Amino acid sequence: MAASEDSLRRALVEKQSTIESQGNAVRALKASNAEKKAVDEAIEKLNALKLEKSSIEKQLQASVSGNPGSSVSKEAFRQAVVNTLVGRLFFIPSFKIYGGVAGLYDYGPPGCAVKSNVLAFWRQHFVLEENMLEVDCPCVTPEVVLKASGHVDKFTDLMVKDEKTGTCYRADHLLKDFCNEKIQKDLSITAEKAAELKHVLAVLDDLSAEELGTKIKEYGITAPDTRNPLSDPYPFNLMFQTSIGPSGLSPGYMRPETAQGIFVNFKDLYYYNGNKLPFAAAQIGQAFRNEISPRQGLLRVREFTLAEIEHFVDPDDKSHPKYSEVADLEFLMFPREQQISGQSAKKTCLGEAVSKGIVNNETLGYFIGRVYLFLTRLGIDKDRLRFRQHLANEMAHYAADCWDAEIESSYGWIECVGIADRSAYDLRAHMDKSGVPLVAHEKFSEPKEVEKLVIVPVKKELGLSFKGNQKKVVEALEAMNEKEALDMKSSLETKGEVEFHVCTLGENVTIKKSMVSISKEKKKEHQRTFTPSVIEPSFGIGRIIYCLYEHSFYLRSSKAGDEQLNVFRFPSLVAPIKCTVFPLVQNQQYEDVAKIISKSLTAAGISHKIDITGTSIGKRYARTDELGVPFAITVDSTSSVTIRERDSKDQIRVNVEEAATVMKSVTDGNTTWADAWANFPHHSSVSAEE
Ligand code: AMP
């Protein structure tokens, strides 16, 4: 793909220079008063060259955007979706009457219902299925917890300021936008320049503040709103800071993720689980990130719902008992190597990816498979869902492997779920800070004889030499791994002393033979103690829901063909309301029947809405299609009613007494609409779709 883009750029440069020469030739002919025929021929050739150039430009445009002319229609599509969502109160900009606040949104009634359905299904698909231990921890978190996790020091984005107005921007976003825009819209740049910009995009996450600043200056990037110069980039911590209690002495933050609440409870949860591994804990809750300049509507917000799972597992055994249930699934996977070599995501068998080691282990593979099933059952289009592996530069140093479930929307591919094997990092970090052992044990059936390394610093000797630094030297000696300790032992035996680097002092010290004893001793052990690894699927619920809105939305012509009607094709599982009940015309008898049916729908636990307005039935259908309501019951007699399915607009006729049972069965998914269509008389009504 890259090669063809390259060759098109080169062809374009060549064609431009041929056009210029031909233009010169035409001018020369005209200046020399050449024969009309010769001038006409030269002009014809020039026009042919221009046509060829425009064809290359079109091909290049298609190659860089992946879809010629797509950006305009994508924006129009997004606008239609957002207008419907806002118009029907799926969401509302928060504090709208005061002008709103960027990055904060309310869920209105249908939005709340969709969210609650998505979360109910999440609990069923993950928590119930795996017997997970659900917890619910506070959003306000003391500083020490987020210091231990690394958020206080490292949860930052690099920011630049408009030097005149003070408006803030994310530095990497400005550079990214500049590179993408140049690559996609400036067809005159050379293949070399395009390659350079692509390289910048590839290493964007790795750039330091200085490097980002240099690039911003080099490319002459200015503030997008004013074109004013920008400041140098500097880190901005994304957490909302607060203090706990009135004294102001106890700093805290609004949590940027829910995971830490689970880690700090590990010891109790492990005990609750009978001291057995593996087990998973789960939490659904609000997370807060003070995003620098939130764009992309509902996709990048400052407060959002996360649903997170922390699956604790023995680092020596990452198999999963139910792995075989997902191993045969096939879907789009985008491993690191394919990204680096410029290929696109390919349909891959999950089991093969795990057995070839592309996915690090079975448990990670199991969760990737379960996330695929979760998202597609919600209604995410499987052809616009891919699992992308993190590149080495995206992954934290401690992580064993990470994959993002990315969903394609009008904004491009969006990370909606992160699935990471974070090794033992988080538990170790909290163990170090709190001093509480966050470990698991494996009891041996018979005691095992093991050779153990024993390091005994001789504190008296060390104290004499290192005085106030003695504690740090002792800690460093005790923290040596087996190889370091045995190397030191042999050096001490041969040379009597050795140079030793103490990180916490930032210098080398001389250790003498009398200062430490290092030996290997045989011991009987009854159990093994270790820090569990954690595999973490982390779901951005708002992002999933927004992508679901886009994947479910379509337009269809009204019966008269004079109007485009909005429809959300939500599956019953997520539809905000499962069915509507309409008396066909305003009449007391029909209204009474509608009320009887409504009562039985309530008893069956089916969310529904009665619409007894005199509006035409076609308009009432259109109104509910726009909310994604899958079924409509229309009362057109006192003994039987029709049930209409939203997407096919097909209708069946059922007895009044059966209506709620049929609805229950099709909305619970116990039967399909096709079953209902096969089992009940069909109804056709001309008036139904006005
Ligand atoms: P992270 O901890 O950064 O991997 O984020 C976990 C998940 O939260 C991501 O996969 C996203 O779905 C979601 N997420 C992260 N940041 C935001 C945001 N600003 N707005 C909405 N969702 C977000």
Query: Is the domain of 92 the same as that of 180?
Result: no
- Cα(540) to ligand 1 centroid in Å equals 5
Residue 222 lies in a domain: yes
Q: What CATH code is carried by the domain that includes residue 160?
A: 3.30.40.230
Calculate mean pLDDT across residues 312-321: 96
Ligand 1 binding pocket includes 416 (Cβ within 6 Å): yes
Query: Is the domain of 670 the same as that of 610?
Result: yes
Q: Say if CB 403 and CB 368 are below 8 A apart.
A: yes
pLDDT given at position 395:
85
- Cα(200) to ligand 1 centroid in Å equals 24
Query: Is the domain of 507 the same as that of 388?
Result: no
Query: Is the domain of 98 the same as that of 186?
Result: no
pLDDT given at position 428:
95
> For 315-321, which contacts have Cβ atoms below 8 Å and span 24 or more sequence positions?
315/423, 315/424, 315/530, 315/531, 315/532, 315/533, 316/530, 318/360, 318/361, 318/362, 318/363, 318/364, 318/421, 318/533, 318/535, 319/361, 319/362, 319/363, 320/278, 320/362, 320/363, 320/365, 320/366
Ligand 1 binding pocket includes 531 (Cβ within 6 Å): no
Query: Is the domain of 47 the same as that of 80?
Result: no
Closest CA to 506 of 469, 554, 556, 451: 469
Q: Which of 530, 546, 568 is the last residue of a domain?
A: 530
How confident is the model over 344-376, as pLDDT tens digits?
899 999 999 999 999 999 999 999 999 999 999
pLDDT given at position 685:
65
- The pLDDT-based confidence of 286 (bands split at 50, 70, 90) is very high
- The pLDDT-based confidence of 687 (bands split at 50, 70, 90) is very low
- The pLDDT-based confidence of 191 (bands split at 50, 70, 90) is confident
Ligand 1 binding pocket includes 326 (Cβ within 6 Å): no
Convert 581-591 to b/e letters by CB count within 10 Å (16 or more is b): bbbbeeeeebb
Q: How many distinct structural domains can be found in the chain?
A: 5
- The pLDDT-based confidence of 71 (bands split at 50, 70, 90) is low
Residue 352 lies in a domain: no
Query: Is the domain of 14 the same as that of 161?
Result: no
The answer to which of 197-211, 217-231, 285-299 has the lowest mean pLDDT is 197-211
Query: Is the domain of 613 the same as that of 475?
Result: no
Residue 568 lies in a domain: no
Ligand 1 binding pocket includes 540 (Cβ within 6 Å): yes
User: Above 70 in pLDDT, residue 70?
Assistant: no
Ligand 1 binding pocket includes 251 (Cβ within 6 Å): no
Ligand 1 binding pocket includes 105 (Cβ within 6 Å): no
Residue 539 lies in a domain: yes
Query: Is the domain of 664 the same as that of 539?
Result: no
Query: Is the domain of 427 the same as that of 467?
Result: no
DSSP state at residue 123: I
Which helix (H) or strand (E) segment holds residue 587: the answer is none
Closest CA to 469 of 515, 531, 533: 515
Q: What CATH code is carried by the domain that includes residue 521?
A: 3.30.720.200
How confident is the model over 140-155, as pLDDT tens digits?
999 999 999 999 999 9
User: Above 50 in pLDDT, residue 320?
Assistant: yes
Domain hosting 216: range is 156-237
Residue 171 lies in a domain: yes
Higher pLDDT, 68 or 191: 191
Protein residue with least CA distance to atom 22, ligand 1: 540
Task: Give the residue carrying structure tokens 């800070």.
Answer: 433
How confident is the model over 179-190, as pLDDT tens digits?
999 888 888 888
Ligand 1 binding pocket includes 279 (Cβ within 6 Å): no
Q: Which of 172-176, 292-296, 499-503 has the highest mean pLDDT?
A: 172-176
How many Cβ atoms are within 10 Å of 67's Cβ, its own excluded? Answer: 10
- The pLDDT-based confidence of 600 (bands split at 50, 70, 90) is very high
HSE (side-chain half, CA atoms, 13 Å) at 386: 21
- Cα(184) to ligand 1 centroid in Å equals 27
DSSP strands (E only) in 323-439: 330-334, 346-349, 385-389, 401-409, 412-421
pLDDT given at position 6:
77
Out of 122, 239, 300, give the residue to mutate to test ligand 1, the one with the largest number of ligand atoms within 8 Å of its CB. 300
- Cα(289) to ligand 1 centroid in Å equals 9
User: Above 80 in pLDDT, residue 413?
Assistant: yes
State how far the Cα of 62 lies from the Cα of 74, in Å rounded to an integer: 15
Ligand 1 binding pocket includes 543 (Cβ within 6 Å): yes
State how far the Cα of 665 lies from the Cα of 230, in Å rounded to an integer: 60
At residue 271's C-alpha, the angle toward residues 270 and 276, to 5°, is 55
- Cα(519) to ligand 1 centroid in Å equals 49
Q: What CATH code is carried by the domain that includes residue 548?
A: 3.30.930.10
Q: Which of 66, 86, 113 is the last residue of a domain?
A: 66
User: Above 90 in pLDDT, residue 95?
Assistant: yes
What is the share, in percent, of the chain residues with pLDDT greater than 90?
77
3-class DSSP state of 96: helix
What is the share, in percent, of the chain residues with pLDDT greater than 70?
97
pLDDT given at position 573:
96
Which pTM does this prediction carry? 0.84
Residue 31 lies in a domain: yes
How confident is the model over 543-584, as pLDDT tens digits?
999 999 999 999 998 888 888 999 999 999 999 999 999 999
- Cα(304) to ligand 1 centroid in Å equals 8
Q: Say if CB 179 and CB 212 are below 8 A apart.
A: no
Protein residue with least CA distance to atom 17, ligand 1: 300
Calculate mean pLDDT across residues 169-195: 90
DSSP strands (E only) in 503-638: 507-512, 516-530, 533-540, 553-557, 564-568, 579-583, 608-610, 631-635
Calculate mean pLDDT across residues 250-256: 97
The per-residue pLDDT of the chain, averaged, comes to 92
- The rounded radius of gyration (Å) of the Cα atoms in the chain is 32
Query: Is the domain of 40 the same as that of 82?
Result: no
Protein residue with least CA distance to atom 11, ligand 1: 540
Give 135-199 as a DSSP string.
----SEEEHHHHHHTTHHHH-EEEEEEBTTT--EEEHHHHHHHHHHHHHHH-TTS-HHHHHHHHH
- Cα(166) to ligand 1 centroid in Å equals 27
Task: Give the residue carrying structure tokens 């990204």.
Answer: 339
Query: Is the domain of 198 the same as that of 80?
Result: no
Residue 331 lies in a domain: no
Ligand 1 binding pocket includes 298 (Cβ within 6 Å): no
Q: Residue 108 burial by CB count (10 A; 0-12/13-18/19+): exposed, middle or buried?
A: middle
How confident is the model over 382-402, as pLDDT tens digits?
999 999 999 888 888 889 999
Calculate mean pLDDT across residues 483-494: 92
At residue 439's C-alpha, the angle toward residues 436 and 440, to 5°, is 145
Protein residue with least CA distance to atom 14, ligand 1: 540
- Cα(119) to ligand 1 centroid in Å equals 16
Out of 295, 310, 415, give the residue to mutate to test ligand 1, the one with the largest number of ligand atoms within 8 Å of its CB. 415
Beta-bridge partner residues of 232: none
Ligand 1 binding pocket includes 304 (Cβ within 6 Å): yes
User: Above 80 in pLDDT, residue 640?
Assistant: yes
Beta-bridge partner residues of 451: 522
Residue 394 lies in a domain: yes
Query: Is the domain of 55 the same as that of 84?
Result: no
Q: What CATH code is carried by the domain that includes residue 664?
A: 3.40.50.800
How many Cβ atoms are within 10 Å of 615's Cβ, its own excluded? Answer: 13
- The pLDDT-based confidence of 1 (bands split at 50, 70, 90) is very low
Protein residue with least CA distance to atom 16, ligand 1: 300
Ligand 1 binding pocket includes 417 (Cβ within 6 Å): yes
- Cα(235) to ligand 1 centroid in Å equals 19
> For 203-208, which contacts have Cβ atoms below 8 Å and span 24 or more sequence positions?
203/393, 204/172, 204/175, 204/176, 205/172, 205/393, 205/394, 206/393, 207/172, 207/175
